[in-house]
């Protein structure tokens, strides 16, 4: 009996080791829930994320372009900014953005804190200034109290604002996708077609760029390696940051987590469907024309990357005071 028990224990250890080894060999890793989070900072950041008073119009918030009910994006080719301006580039998803090597398509922001301040002061986005945004917050008693509770200071500054928004955004990870369940050993989490799609995804070379926890977001790559990518968009990619012509059309590889929710695709939002995106990426990046059946299997696999979406009570924003400047949505 003892020998049987010992044999069973050894077998369990071997199976566990085998599963761990198999997981380590996969180019995609399980996405983990957020850790080491300051809850007070998160709660403040959540309010700021949803507060349109950080914009000149009093109408645009972070959630306008990175809608947490729509995969962390806005599902239009380029976002709508202050005074109905058309944005120059597709809004990347905020979900799992803490896993990116840098923020924005061109990587001009090193981290979430640096990114959070950009749209507020961009005349084509929220159309405000950091100074004016802080002045608005300082006239709202509820914010004054909460900032003091969180930071222990009497004065609000833009660093506190962006730090709070970034801390909230760190919580926006999407674990427990069916693909993660498969990685963790649930053999029946994927269908035969989805497994075949993952096989094609690996064999064709997609994993050279789309790998890791976020299935992307950890490198910059040229759009149009085998064939040039034709677009009317003016964004130059990393070249807009570095000034180097060699970096032209190099963009941050987007995450494929929740990709079925984050259409349209590419930096210019030109691909409306996953089928179209897979076809274009196959031809332009890999020099491979996927058959309709192959394309459908890859799309089926990509849909298994949808994880648990952020779920929380909608924040109730503190009311403005009589001293709070009123927005001017139609001002020229």
- With a CB cutoff of 8 Å and minimum separation 6, the contacts of 162 are 113, 114, 116, 117
203 is catalytic: no
CA-CA distance, 48 to 43, in Å (whole number)?
Answer: 9
Strands 220-222 and 250-252, by their bridges, are: antiparallel
Catalytic residue among 26, 125, 146, 167: 125
- With a CB cutoff of 8 Å and minimum separation 6, the contacts of 304 are 177, 178, 179, 182, 189, 190, 194, 198
Q: How many helices (H) and strands (E) does the chain have?
A: 12, 2
Q: Does residue 210 have a cis peptide bond before it, meaning omega lies within 30 degrees of 0?
A: no
Decide if 268 contacts 280 (C-beta within 8 A).
no
Give per-residue burial for 246-269: e unless 16+ CB within 10 Å, then b. Answer: ebebbbbbbbbbbbebbbbbbbbb
Active site (catalytic) residues: 125
């Amino acid at each position: 009996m003892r020998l049987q028990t010992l044999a069973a224990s050894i077998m369990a250890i071997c199976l566990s080791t085998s599963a761990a080894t198999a997981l380590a060999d996969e180019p995609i890793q399980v996405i983990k829930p957020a850790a080491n989070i300051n809850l007070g900072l998160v709660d403040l950041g959540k309010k700021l994320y949803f507060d349109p008073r950080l914009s000149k119009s009093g109408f645009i918030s972070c959630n306008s372009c990175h809608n947490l009910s729509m995969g962390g994006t806005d599902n239009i080719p380029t976002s709508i900014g202050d005074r109905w301006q058309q944005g120059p580039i597709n809004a990347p998803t905020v979900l799992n953005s803490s896993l990116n090597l840098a923020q924005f398509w061109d990587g001009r922001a090193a981290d979430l804190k640096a990114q959070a301040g950009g749209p507020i002061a961009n005349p084509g986005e929220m159309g405000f200034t950091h100074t004016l945004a802080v002045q608005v917050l300082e006239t709202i008693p509820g914010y004054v109290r909460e900032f003091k509770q969180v930071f222990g200071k009497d004065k609000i500054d833009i660093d506190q604002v962006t730090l709070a928004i970034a801390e909230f955004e760190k919580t926006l990870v999407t674990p427990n996708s069916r693909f993660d369940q498969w990685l963790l050993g649930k053999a029946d989490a994927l269908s035969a077609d989805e497994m075949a799609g993952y096989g094609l995804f690996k064999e064709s070379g997609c994993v050279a760029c789309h790998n890791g926890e976020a299935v992307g977001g950890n490198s910059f790559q040229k759009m149009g390696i085998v064939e040039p990518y034709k677009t009317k968009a003016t964004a130059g990619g990393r070249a807009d940051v570095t000034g180097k012509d060699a970096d032209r059309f190099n963009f941050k590889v987007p995450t494929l987590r929740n990709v079925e929710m984050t259409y349209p695709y590419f930096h210019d939002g030109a691909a409306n469907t996953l089928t179209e995106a897979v076809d274009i990426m196959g031809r332009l990046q890999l020099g491979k024309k996927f058959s309709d059946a192959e394309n459908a299997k890859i799309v089926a696999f990509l849909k298994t990357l949808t994880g648990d979406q952020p779920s929380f009570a909608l924040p109730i924003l503190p009311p403005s005071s009589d001293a709070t400047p009123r927005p001017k949505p139609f001002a020229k």
